[in-house]
Amino acid sequence: MKKKSQYIKEYNVPDILRMIRNNSLKPKVCAEKLNGKLVVISGATSGIGYATARKYASQGANLLCINRNPRKSKDLKREIEGEFGVKCDFLLADLSSMKEVVQVAEKLRSLRTPIDVLIHNAGVYLTKRDITPDGIEKVFMVQYLASFVINYLLVDKLKSQGKARVIMVNSEGHRFAAWGLRFDDLNWEKRRYSGLKSYGSAKLAQLLSMIVFKECFKNSGVSINAMHPGAVKTETGQDNGPMYRWYKRNILDRILKPTDISAEALYYLGASDDLEGVSGKFFNLTKEEVPAPPALDMEAAFEIWDKSLEITGLPEMDIHEQAPERNAV
């Protein structure tokens, strides 16, 4: 918030107008196949994740899904393997639990098979503040810290492969945190909780972490990008109260688009030769876009990086030696 005046000067009306126009565009289509490649997707039993799993499987990719529900995971495995003839395994994890996030990251790190594409899709939207057993605001944990922990613990594995693509399903909603992150109140203890602002803050934190991850992966063959999946119909928000669920079912869902467009975009970002070597970018579906000024703040990127290590208890690694200088703002 101390940088509000700085951000006000950096907001660019043409960028905002382009963002509005981009919302009506269709995603680019990729014709390349991914036969035998391994794609890891979180939250693959419904919504965008489900459509994306089917899209990648239809193009020959093997899947490893990170899901919470064992029954739905088994059903997905049976469906994907029966229909597309590829392998579809799953790991069970509640991404609101720090312990389970670390455990699933360790399992991914121990894989002997290279991870060709890693898609962070799982998410949650809440209208009331909820604190996890670890004492972390739930939206911040699921929408941001889960992907941070997995990416952080996989840095060495991905770099050792010589090639990989990390894609984070982000959102234009990062713009709801218009004046940046409140580093003194990431848990929403000092402010009135807002569903839109908490969601925006988590997505902004994810974009800021991408700045540092991009530099960590530099010259390694590993890329990391983020994308807005379009205004599509998903099951996000089902944990909210009856009024929100009624509004979503009777108003929002009637104007939202099918998740197929998100899946098409995520496949393009994960498979297209056009994206070879492209990293640290934000896309509206497949259209590259300039995110809000707070998402480009190098100083804030390092601050949320250090805060994330503090919150998660992860040890500092040699990753800092590969990251950009902190005064390069």
Q: What is the pTM assigned to this prediction?
A: 0.89
Q: How far is CA 54 from the centre of its chain?
A: 19
| Residue 326 included in any domain | no
Residue 62 CA to residue 301 CA, distance in Å, equals: 34
Tens-digit pLDDT profile for residues 221-277: 999 999 999 755 455 545 544 543 443 344 334 345 677 899 999 999 999 999 999
| Residue 165 included in any domain | yes
Residue 63 CA to residue 248 CA, distance in Å, equals: 31
| Residue 38 included in any domain | yes
Strands (E), 106-234: 117-120, 164-169, 222-228
| Residue 318 included in any domain | no
Helix, coil or strand: residue 273: helix
The pLDDT assigned to 258 comes to: 72
Tens-digit pLDDT profile for residues 147-180: 999 999 999 999 999 999 999 999 999 999 999 9
- What's phi and psi for 59, nearest 5 deg? -105, 15
Total number of domains in the chain: 1
The pLDDT assigned to 281 comes to: 98
At 232, list the tokens. Answer: 């599509």
Question: Percent of the chain having pLDDT more than 90?
Answer: 78
Query: Pick the residue with more confidence: 213 or 243?
Result: 213
Q: What is the CATH number of the domain that holds 25?
A: 3.40.50.720
The pLDDT assigned to 87 comes to: 98
The pLDDT assigned to 219 comes to: 95
Tell me what the pLDDT averaged over the chain comes to: 89
Query: Pick the residue with more confidence: 213 or 25?
Result: 213
- What's phi and psi for 62, nearest 5 deg? -85, 150
Tally Cβ neighbours within 10 Å of residue 176.
18
Cβ pair 295, 210 in contact under 8 A: no
| Residue 232 included in any domain | yes
Cβ pair 117, 40 in contact under 8 A: yes
The pLDDT assigned to 242 comes to: 53
At 257, list the tokens. Answer: 């688009």
Residue 261 CA to residue 243 CA, distance in Å, equals: 28
| Residue 323 included in any domain | no
The pLDDT assigned to 37 comes to: 98
Residue 151 CA to residue 213 CA, distance in Å, equals: 8
Residue 15 CA to residue 13 CA, distance in Å, equals: 5
Tally Cβ neighbours within 10 Å of residue 16.
13
| Residue 297 included in any domain | yes
Tens-digit pLDDT profile for residues 13-25: 777 777 777 777 8
| Residue 319 included in any domain | no
The pLDDT assigned to 116 comes to: 98
DSSP 57-113: HHTT-EEEEEES-HHHHHHHHHHHHHHH-S-EEEEE--TT-HHHHHHHHHHHHT-SS
DSSP category for residue 137: B
The pLDDT assigned to 257 comes to: 60
**Domain limits at 205?**
4-311
DSSP percent split of the chain into helix, strand, coil, nearest 5: 50, 15, 40
The pLDDT assigned to 252 comes to: 37
Helix, coil or strand: residue 319: helix
Q: Which residues on adjacent β-strands are paired with residue 121?
A: none
Nearest one of 180, 134, 124, 153 to 298, comparing CA atoms = 180
DSSP category for residue 294: G
- Per-residue pLDDT band at 108 (split at 50, 70, 90): very high
Placement of tokens 């909780």 in the chain: 193
Residues belonging to the chain: 329
- Per-residue pLDDT band at 121 (split at 50, 70, 90): very high
Q: In what order do the strands lie in the sheet with 38-42?
A: 88-92, 62-67, 38-42, 117-120, 164-169, 222-228, 282-284, 287-289
The pLDDT assigned to 328 comes to: 42
Q: Please determine, for residue 34, whether its predicted confidence score (pLDDT) is greater than 70.
A: yes
Range 31-40 average pLDDT = 97
Nearest one of 266, 254, 279 to 230, comparing CA atoms = 266
- Per-residue pLDDT band at 326 (split at 50, 70, 90): very low
Helix, coil or strand: residue 257: strand
Range 94-105 average pLDDT = 98
- Per-residue pLDDT band at 137 (split at 50, 70, 90): very high
